Amino acid sequence: MDFSVLMLILLLITGAIWGLDRLLLAPGRRRTADELRQAGESDGRAPKESLVVEYARAFFPVILIVFVLRAFIVEPFRIPSGSMMPGLLAGDFILVNKFSFGVRFPGLNLKIIDSGSPKRGDVMVFRYPDDPSINYIKRTIGLPGDRIIYKNKRLFINGVEMPQQLIAPFLMRESGQRLTEMQRWSEDLGGVKHDILKYRSDRDLTLEFRVPEGHYFAMGDNRDRSNDSRFWGYVPEKNLIGRAFLIWFSWDLKSPEKWLGDRILWNRIGTSIR
């Protein structure tokens, strides 16, 4: 179950218990206190509320704050794979701005505030179209109506090639101690510069797409190790969750032999996502 939906259920339960007590039971307790005071058998204080009501009253505001923050403003996610390397690593914990692409009511996926839409180059989190229970993170490449051509590992958007510049060789550590040699490139998506990874290859592969209205074309920065729109299609607007903007914690998943404290990647904490 989605965490925001769970928080909504808890919010409704605690709110209902507290509200019903105030409407139905609290007046009776006050009347009882008044009667006892008039009879000289009490100091006039109302009998205590039940333990269930006491807990509901205590937890309701806490749940409300967490629910509003997580459902409508910002939500944490964990990067599960290396498909967004070199910028994002498996083990990074990120924050996602849920206000960027419109505020949606949890569970119903109903947009209640139209506060924006993805821009080319945004790193977005969305529900995987083939299984909405799974969250994906990729970079926004194509906007509605765009013509995308991916040819020989280069991007062409609406007939314009997106500039790429080779930076250096890159050794990607995979399972165990195995290293895979790749190349690190800088790519410019119409003013949004970011780094990508590619295998050294001269294979001439051409893929062409036309992004439908209300959909987006997404790709991973680790171009040859990403399951993205090239293979399963487009991201519907209704599946958008938000824009990733910050790494708030990072955990080294590739070095289980290290001590726990040594596995925290301190230099990545607080890094902006671009």
Query: Hey, which residues are catalytic here?
Result: 83, 138
Angstrom distance (rounded) from CA 147 to CA 132: 26
Query: Cβ neighbours of residue 12 under 8 Å, at least 6 residues apart?
Result: none
HEC profile of 169-208: EEEEECCCCCEEEEEEEEEEECCEEEEEEECCCCCCCEEE
Element (DSSP H or E) covering residue 53: helix 51-68
Given a contact cutoff of 8 angstroms between Cβ atoms, the answer to whether 235 and 220 are in contact is: no
Peptide bond into 212 cis (omega under 30): no
Q: What are phi and psi of 182, to 5 degrees?
A: -130, -175
Structure tokens at 227: 């399951």
Q: What is the DSSP letter of 43?
A: -
DSSP letters along 157-168, please?
Answer: ETTEEPPEEEEE
C-alpha 258/C-alpha 253 separation (Å) is 10
DSSP state of 264: B
DSSP string, 212-247: PTTEEEEE-SBGGG--SHHHH--EEGGGEEEEEEEE
DSSP label of 111: E
Task: Show the CA angle centred on residue 141, arms to residues 168 and 71, nearest 5°.
Answer: 110
